[in-house]
A and B are shown apart, each in its own frame.
Chain A
């Protein structure tokens, strides 16, 4: 994997295969591009996720034990009780401190035994106001291992659906090129000369053509006499470029001059979903059926067996189930006098019961 991001502290994203038995020793490696001597190390290892923990058909017994102290240069971990076909992922994080600076980074460690097996995971969604559940393969296990090797299997929680909304700040920033000798576009250079232009000028003052203005009304009103592609010199600013990028990513907004992002058809877009007990990863919602509204529903309930997870200091997790009643209220107009065209508004309720499993870490 080639990347443009250059971090001074780097950790390996390694894949370990069990060669014998049910356990393996993991030895993370790092490199720091600094001439300053390192004063302290702080290793941390995230929760362990496994294909068997996520699957309702399987039970995972994985355990992790730190074999060394976590504040030294070289550390070792032991991961035990990996089942045949099970694939385990966890994050490794390191912070080192030198005399002048502190550096942090993280990587993804993958462990598997035998031939990795893709497992289905249950996904609960709303269908006609009721809870429904389906089992889905959200990604092949081979692809997940490759993603982990590129450190992209785990998504940051902030990007998960329901945790944040896409805002303008999520859109890549593009600087407007100019003709200065030391400032020009470095990425994605067109190779045809006729494609490459920057500043804009020129319009026909006599042209009586009328057409839609520029992007979402971003062009000033003075552009109304210009053609579809001609622009005022000042209109090629950062906002316009960002809007173009936004359109490229999200498509054309619904309605003229609307800046509201369109709702994509389910099945056409991958979403990052975050469910307690599972790693955050991408999922492509299945299209609705029948009269099901064509909006993808986020999963609500997903029971899991609690994988035992301990480190050298011991500890595990404790889970409890709780029945929760959801009340959906809505208003409906009811006709009381057709001749007078009178109606009254009544409030209705739909009650839905669901079971919530809450797991908390215990010990250590």
Chain B
């Protein structure tokens, strides 16, 4: 007599009599065969091959490189990587790994008319007084400060007209603080009235109502602007497009609008150089926020009777079963690389050869003693030379000032003893501190600096507290650092070398190209420090001396030029 088999479906396994059958890749032949998520995870590629065979998918309908492996997105591995399993670890043979990546970058130059353009307020009240030059990009707080300083404290309140989140470039509401006739403002000495002109509109109050006036700017919107960009690491058989995000600020109603522009799809070999040309609308300022590279991939996704992406863990834990039920095919753009240009408002340049870095022109940045940054102003380049500045330190709340900054030249500021920030110099490429007195990083690492405790640290603005870092600054894109002629000792020099070692322009493995295209190159100058210990001739057993020398040799061996005292 034959025994009827007993079936116990579910629970991740099938029991027939006393035998337990676990689904496996070897047993899968058609969609009605169950799949264990646990087994699927271990044999993804084999399963995918079987699915492709079963459904008879043509080769041009899928792209196996972009199937499931999240980690390879944006990378191209030619020749493959050798995976060696050893005790559960996977080692990659980097000699056999050629790394490439699609990448988009470019250079957005700040409009000098927005950066350096100024006007002056005239206060008309039984006579006329003219105030200091004011940049167009100032916020209501700075306008209020200048009115208080130039025409008398406590006469007016100044606030943002329209959207309070768009604080730059006006318009502003100026309200008198007294009900009697308190005079009115007009505008004079506009640096470029064709590009940006201004108007103060006044409505007088009465015995019970203070006067109100609005200050706003106008432009014709006919000026053209350009942005050059380039894309590298492109693959020949793929389609790409460039996606641009533009912002527009309305100078009258103070509203911000975002628009998106797509280029036509293109196919290029290796690289692409492009140019974005744009104009502002009337009484608006238009500026690009970001450029993105999109890659078009034709691929398929297999569908399961359970959600493998989110519910897989539950199935996995319970060793449950799923079934492949079909597939979807698609041809869509994928975000591959993004070039961020600016944040809240147009990029600005600061050049003290046009307006001297003193309290009259740049009080809102901490001038003349400090550069503290500002929570509303994004700088593209900062050039301050021969000033009285003793410290360049940007607190975290003002990080927007340095986040997009690419070039900083503070050379010949002989009083400058500290350069640093609580946040990253994300885009910074060149930093010139030659001819200063930088020694802020000479202190031991991991000590607490508190500028407000009476033992104020030289060069740190009041109210700052932080722990000295190992790396002088966090600047992942630095590729030129000039520290010639400062006061750094071995510890200080080590912290700056550490900054260079962290740069993207110093690859961690031989054989990698820079993600920016081309071979790696960089420059570091640490010559002529006033501290006598900053001479590095030989390895001598002193840990700091030997660490600096090791760093110099690593940098020199990987495409950097290092100038130092031997």
B539 within 8 A of A: no
| Contact (A1, B165) CB under 8 Å given A11-B253, A19-B177, A208-B32 | yes
A22 within 8 A of B: yes
A185 within 8 A of B: yes
Which residues of chain B are within 8 angstroms of A17 by Cβ–Cβ distance?
157, 159, 175
Let me know if B329 and A199 touch, CB within 8 A.
yes
B260 within 8 A of A: yes
B537 within 8 A of A: no
Interface residue tally for chain B (C-beta within 8 Å): 78
Q: Mind listing 15 A-B residue pairs with CB under 8 Å?
A: A2-B257, A4-B257, A15-B159, A25-B209, A150-B163, A185-B332, A186-B262, A195-B301, A196-B330, A198-B330, A198-B332, A202-B326, A202-B327, A204-B31, A206-B30
B464 within 8 A of A: no
Let me know if A196 and B212 touch, CB within 8 A.
no
Let me know if A1 and B323 touch, CB within 8 A.
no
Contact among A1, A197, A204, A228 for B255, CB-based, below 8 A: A1
Let me know if A181 and B252 touch, CB within 8 A.
no
Let me know if B210 and A20 touch, CB within 8 A.
yes
B396 within 8 A of A: no
Let me know if B205 and A25 touch, CB within 8 A.
yes
Let me know if A227 and B323 touch, CB within 8 A.
yes
* Per-residue interface assignment for chain A, residues 18 to 42, with 1 indicating a CB less than 8 Å from any chain B CB and 0 otherwise: 0111111111011101010000000
Looking at the assembled complex, report how far the CB atom of A35 sits from the nearest CB atom of chain B, in whole angstroms.
8
* Per-residue interface assignment for chain B, residues 246 to 257, with 1 indicating a CB less than 8 Å from any chain A CB and 0 otherwise: 010011111111
Minimal Cβ-Cβ distance residue in A for B255: A10
The docked-state distance in angstroms from the alpha carbon of A150 to that of B163 is 7
Q: Which of B217-247 contact A (CB under 8 A)?
A: 239, 243, 247
Minimal Cβ-Cβ distance residue in A for B332: A196
Which residues of chain B are within 8 angstroms of A19 by Cβ–Cβ distance?
157, 175-177, 210
Interface residue tally for chain A (C-beta within 8 Å): 70
Contact among A33, A199, A206, A227 for B303, CB-based, below 8 A: A227
Let me know if A13 and B179 touch, CB within 8 A.
no
B66 within 8 A of A: yes
Looking at the assembled complex, report how far the CB atom of B202 sits from the nearest CB atom of chain A, in whole angstroms.
9
Which residues of chain A are within 8 angstroms of B163 by Cβ–Cβ distance?
1, 12-13, 149-150
B312 within 8 A of A: no
| Contact (A202, B55) CB under 8 Å given A25-B203, A192-B73, A193-B297 | yes
Which residues of chain B are within 8 angstroms of A29 by Cβ–Cβ distance?
161-162, 171, 214, 216, 252-254
- Chain B residues within CB distance 8 Å of chain A: 30-32, 55, 63, 66-68, 70, 73, 157, 159, 161-166, 171, 173, 175-179, 201, 203, 205, 208-214, 216, 239, 243, 247, 250-260, 262, 264-265, 281-284, 294, 297, 299-301, 303-305, 323-335
The docked-state distance in angstroms from the alpha carbon of A226 to that of B203 is 72
Let me know if A12 and B201 touch, CB within 8 A.
no
Minimal Cβ-Cβ distance residue in B for A16: B173
A127 within 8 A of B: no
Contact among B171, B209, B252, B325 for A10, CB-based, below 8 A: B252
* Per-residue interface assignment for chain A, residues 280 to 311, with 1 indicating a CB less than 8 Å from any chain B CB and 0 otherwise: 00000000000000000000000000000000
Which residues of chain A are within 8 angstroms of B255 by Cβ–Cβ distance?
1, 3, 10, 12-13
Looking at the assembled complex, report how far the CB atom of B535 sits from the nearest CB atom of chain A, in whole angstroms.
50
Let me know if A227 and B304 touch, CB within 8 A.
yes
Contact among B173, B256, B262 for A2, CB-based, below 8 A: B256
- 6 smallest beta-carbon distances between A and B, as pairs: A227-B325, A230-B326, A197-B330, A31-B252, A204-B31, A10-B253
Known A23-B209, A192-B73, A193-B73; further 17 A-B contacts with Cβ < 8 A:
A2-B247, A10-B252, A12-B163, A17-B159, A20-B176, A21-B208, A24-B175, A25-B212, A29-B161, A29-B253, A31-B284, A193-B334, A197-B328, A198-B330, A199-B329, A201-B329, A208-B32
Which residues of chain B are within 8 angstroms of A185 by Cβ–Cβ distance?
332
The docked-state distance in angstroms from the alpha carbon of A168 to that of B244 is 33
Which residues of chain A are within 8 angstroms of B251 by Cβ–Cβ distance?
31
Contact among A3, A80, A192 for B256, CB-based, below 8 A: A3
Which residues of chain A are within 8 angstroms of B305 by Cβ–Cβ distance?
209, 211, 227-229
Let me know if A12 and B171 touch, CB within 8 A.
yes
The docked-state distance in angstroms from the alpha carbon of A177 to that of B489 is 62
Contact among A26, A201, A211, A227 for B31, CB-based, below 8 A: A227
Which residues of chain A are within 8 angstroms of B73 by Cβ–Cβ distance?
191-193
